[in-house]
Structure 1
């Protein structure tokens, strides 16, 4: 009877992993892809878009992904109480506080940098923060998949920074955005086959 109740509870809170990872993956794939097309390596312009458009699209898609994640989390875990609920709430607040503080810092210092380095630094800091928070989430909930995703994002971010302006956007687009889409698909299949996270 205990196992039946446990299985029933897990079915109630289960969310297909694609809802967690795909909104972010598609946001990065499209957003960073547009940045690469407009601001390629060595100032190359592959598609002559208005300068403001790629960043605006990336920000809009990231906000949409955040809303989708928030709604998904609220539907899955909103009715839970206790220590797990507190951890989830604190973790959600950690994302908001961390990104707000980094935004303020970057706004303050980015005017001191050339435009190509501004894009590189903004992307590197925000993606690095995302990787670190995924690593922390994986550690908090002992979730191997989330921890591995954080490690992947962190490694890809370093590779992008080392590659430099222009190339960084392509690496973020394909390896981080595309990687997150593949990761969501694999994680969803693992859950359907009953493998633990």
Structure 2
């Protein structure tokens, strides 16, 4: 602490020019949000990828099943390809986003990503067992739709809890509700409900996530331009 040569009283150090306590706290919050966005899965990408996969896959199933009530083989391959693509993206994205972190965060990202793979591997095995047991095509169709929706819904709810992202949990809950409604819609309308409500729900939440992020990023500069936040 320096002293004033003309006085015995010490001179208190001044605060950095232009940085009030309120502005300092705001900068810290902005940095924390930027860091979180960089190391946690991006909801916009996850919602968008699953929305497109759900929309294309289920629309293909609905188109092929409109006449006979049962989806044709080609649409099943389209749907499976969409699921595999969305699942692969989710695994890679979750692991790479947390690869630069250490300790608990890194383990959570890796476990969450690989759980997607294990869940859908079990999904395929259970469908195969049902087919071997003599399940009818109608039962297989309802089971396939229900299992896939259950996995996606629960994984999104878990992701929301793990990454503190309520949007993910909201989409997961919506997927579970949609699956129940679709199960009672009857074939082939089940596929149409899943395409519109399921895929559409994902895409709507992707847009909501983009709006929320844009507002969060612009709130800091806007607050400073108007002389600071509520503490100013």
Is the TM-score greater than 0.5?
Answer: yes
1:16/1:129 Cα in 2 relative to 1: closer, same or farther (>3 Å)? closer
Cα deviation per residue 1:62-111 (whole Å; 9 max; x = unaligned)?
Answer: 22222333343344322111111111111122222222122211210135
2:183 is paired with a residue whose SS is helix
What is the aligned residue count? 190
Aligned partners of 2:161 and 2:169 also within 8 Å: yes
Q: Which residue is 2:184 aligned to? A: 162
Aligned with residue 183 of structure 1, among 205, 211, 216: 205
Matches within 5 A, 1:8-19: 8-10=34-36, 12-13=38-39, 17-19=43-45
| SS of structure 1 residue aligned to 2:129 | helix
1:63 aligned onto 2:110: no
- The Cα shift of 1:22 comes to 1.1
Task: Report which structure shows greater RCO (CA 8 Å, sep ≥6).
Answer: 1
Show CA shifts across 1:40-60 (max 9, x none): 3x8358xxx9x2211111111
Q: Does 1:31 align with 2:57?
A: yes
Aligned residues of 1:31 and 1:58 also touching (Cα < 8 A): yes
Unaligned runs of 5+ in 2: 1-23, 218-232
Structure 1 stretch displaced more, 21-30 or 136-145: 136-145
**Deviation of the 1:15 alpha carbon:** 6.3
Equivalent positions of 1:1-197 (< 5 A) are 3=28, 5-10=31-36, 12-13=38-39, 17-40=43-66, 43-44=68-69, 51-111=72-132, 112-194=134-216
Determine the C-alpha separation between the residues in 2 that align with 1:141 and 1:7: 13
* Deviation (angstroms), 1:5: 4.8
TM-score (norm 2): 0.73
Q: Distance in 1 between matches of 2:197 and 2:190?
A: 10
Moved more, 131-140 or 157-166: 131-140
Q: Tell whether the 8 Å contact from 2:40 to 2:98 is kept in structure 1 after alignment.
A: no
Partner SS state of residue 43, structure 1: coil
What TM-score does the superposition give when structure 1 sets the normalisation length? 0.85
The structure where helix makes up a greater share of residues is 1
2:220 matched residue in structure 1: none
**Any gaps of 5 or more consecutive residues in structure 1?**
none
Point out the structure with max Rg over C-alpha. Answer: 2
In structure 2, the CA distance between the partners of 1:11 and 1:43, relative to structure 1 (3 Å rule), is closer
